[in-house]
Amino acid sequence: MALLEDAASLALENSDIPDVDAIIVGSQTSDELAKVANLGTRLADVLGLSGVAAWRVENSSGSGSALLEAATLAVRSGHYSNVLAVGGEKMTDKPTPVTAKVLGRVLADTEIALGLTMPSLGAMVARMYMERYGLSRETLAMVPVKAHANGARNPLAHFRKEVDVGNVLSSPMVADPLRVFDCAPISDGAAAVVVTSQRTDVEIAGVGHGTDRIALADRRGNGLRATQLAAAMAYKDAGLTPEDVDFAELHDAFSILEIIDSEDVGLFPRGEGWKALEAGTTGRDGEMPINVSGGLKSRGHPVGATGLAQVAEVVWQLRGQAEGRQLDDVKVGLTQNIGGFGSNNLVTIMRRV
Amino acid sequence: MSLEVSKCDSCEEVLAPPRLKCPECRKEMRMEEVSGVGEIVTHTTVHVVPEGFSAPIMVGLVRLDAGGQVLARSDFELETGMRVDVEELEDGTHRILRID
């Protein structure tokens, strides 16, 4: 609760909104890992906002973006004027095997029965992509290397230490071909934003949301359909195209996902995301910077907070407030947030106005 | 081995294990016994396993010749493109078998 309260208080302080008329809060595992429930009411109470509407959105690791979607639609509808959107997760209180098991509940029953976890599915998707499109293990390692280089410049990141390809390739194997350094960490953290009907310097231009069949074996086609559907909806909502996007925060829970995500949201053609990575296009100084915050890998992955942490990074970049990692002259930023193993994904597009 | 799958007459989807309703078109699915023979699409060996399981777990995604895909464990090393058979176990999970 302290994490949620801190993030919420900071967001309220940084906005010019003295009062909000609703609170939407998100967490995937608070009941089991942090032993706390009724988050909406608790948060209203501790923030001194008792009386306002408050509720929780749970959408696995996509909770942050899903609750922002709810806040955006609540404000667009005119029913509420100012909505506080908060997501957080306290994950490090339990031993890793327990946390991994709780996180794995989002998978299909058939996958859980085989003893599979999130990284197991990430590994199978990684192998499929590598064999189909010619991505090498060494190039894949450039995703966490870039993430750590970016995170080292972010004062809010979980890990602020640079790593090299050798560190990644010598880290312990989790699920072949993915190693420890290909996987986002278990983190504690929270993020919050205030969504308002008032005119401000940053607008939520488009939101999109899609699902796919829950079992990996039941899915068809390349990439993550849930992201592709969400991206199409978000671009349509915003009246923008991938060509308008200046930078993106993508859900790199596993290294391979950053590459697949970058193709699914239309920034690169299918099978060519890794070439952009290799060429430096997605680096901090490249034409399409991806995960300048450090991404899930380095900034951290407190699951319920992640989607909103991505959004906070985009807002800071658009406002010129990204201390130590500010991009030059950016106007449109995109976030992509995954729920489950790629089965319930959201895309949010923000624009400086 | 023979496997039970479900087929959708509307979108021609094949799902294993079988489902009552097609996840795409809400139509009732038809149950059918098909051969478990197919090809490995992707695979992994899991070294970090959840509570209650012992490592390593070898698992592969098999594209059935009869249509549809099934995720199954294996007792031997897998390779993409390998021709295999799949059997259904008592607990409803699936296991990959060698084809000689």
For residue B52, what pLDDT is reported? Answer: 86
Does one domain contain both A40 and A121? no
For residue A142, what pLDDT is reported? Answer: 98
pLDDT above 90: residue A1: no
Does one domain contain both A254 and A316? yes
Q: Where are the beta strands (DSSP E) in chain A?
A: 22-26, 53-57, 82-89, 173-175, 178-179, 189-196, 202-211, 247-249, 332-339, 344-352
Does one domain contain both A142 and A30? no
Which domain-ending residue is among A138, A164, A196? A196
Q: Tens of pLDDT along A8-58?
A: 999 999 998 878 999 999 999 999 899 999 999 999 999 999 999 999 999
Backbone dihedral region of A266: left (phi > 0), alpha (psi from -120 to 50 degrees) or beta? left
Distances from the Cα of B49 to the Cα of A113, A174, B24, B42, B53, angstroms: 12, 9, 32, 19, 6
For residue A96, what pLDDT is reported? Answer: 84
Of B23, B47, B93, the CB nearest to A113: B93
Mean pLDDT of B44-71: 94
Chain B residues close to A113, C-beta within 8 Å:
91-93
For residue A314, what pLDDT is reported? Answer: 98
Does one domain contain both A89 and A107? no
How many Å lie between the alpha carbon of A193 and the closest alpha carbon of chain B? 35
Does one domain contain both A328 and A220? yes
Does one domain contain both A244 and A261? yes
Does one domain contain both A104 and A19? no
Chain B residues close to A124, C-beta within 8 Å:
42-44, 59, 61
CA angle A297, A302, A307 (to 5 degrees): 85
Which domain-ending residue is among A146, A163, A196? A196
Which domain-ending residue is among A196, A219, A247? A196
Does one domain contain both A62 and A109? no
Chain-centroid distance, C-alpha A285: 22
Reduced to 3 states, what is the DSSP secondary structure of residue A56?
A: strand
Of A111, A173, A215, the CB nearest to B47: A173
B28-38 in b/e burial notation, b at 16+ Cβ within 10 A? ebeeeebebbb
Does one domain contain both A85 and A108? no
Structure tokens at A208: 């999109």
Does one domain contain both A109 and A85? no
CATH code (residue A10): 3.40.47.10
Are β-strands B38-46 and B57-64 bridged in parallel, bridged antiparallel, or unpaired? antiparallel
> Do residue B92 and residue A113 have CB atoms under 8 angstroms apart?
yes
Q: Tens of pLDDT along A6-20?
A: 999 999 999 988 789
Residues in CB range of A340: below 8 A, 6 or more apart: A60, A61, A62, A106, A107, A214
Does one domain contain both A348 and A235? yes
- Give the phi and the psi of residue A61 in degrees, each rounded to 5: -75, 0
How many Å lie between the alpha carbon of B49 and the closest alpha carbon of chain A? 7
Considering chain A, what percentage of its residues have pLDDT values greater than 70?
100
- Report the helix count and the strand count for chain B, using DSSP H and E: 0, 8
Written as one string, the DSSP assignment of A142-156 is HHHHHHHHHHTT-TT
Does one domain contain both A19 and A150? no
How many Å lie between the alpha carbon of A337 and the closest alpha carbon of chain B? 23
Q: Tens of pLDDT along A260-317?
A: 999 999 999 999 999 999 999 999 999 999 999 999 999 999 999 999 999 999 999 9
Of A97, A119, A176, the CB nearest to B51: A97
For residue A68, what pLDDT is reported? Answer: 98
Chain A residues close to B50, C-beta within 8 Å:
97, 100-101, 104, 115, 117
Instruction: Specify the number of domains making up chain A.
Output: 2
State chain A's maximal CA–CA distance in angstroms. 57
A134 touches chain B (CB under 8 A): no
Per the structure, the complete domain to which residue A128 belongs is given by: 98-185+202-352
| Rounded Cα–Cα distance for residues A272 and B51 (Å) | 38
Domains defined for chain B, CATH in brackets:
2-98 (2.40.50.840)
How many Å lie between the alpha carbon of A131 and the closest alpha carbon of chain B? 9
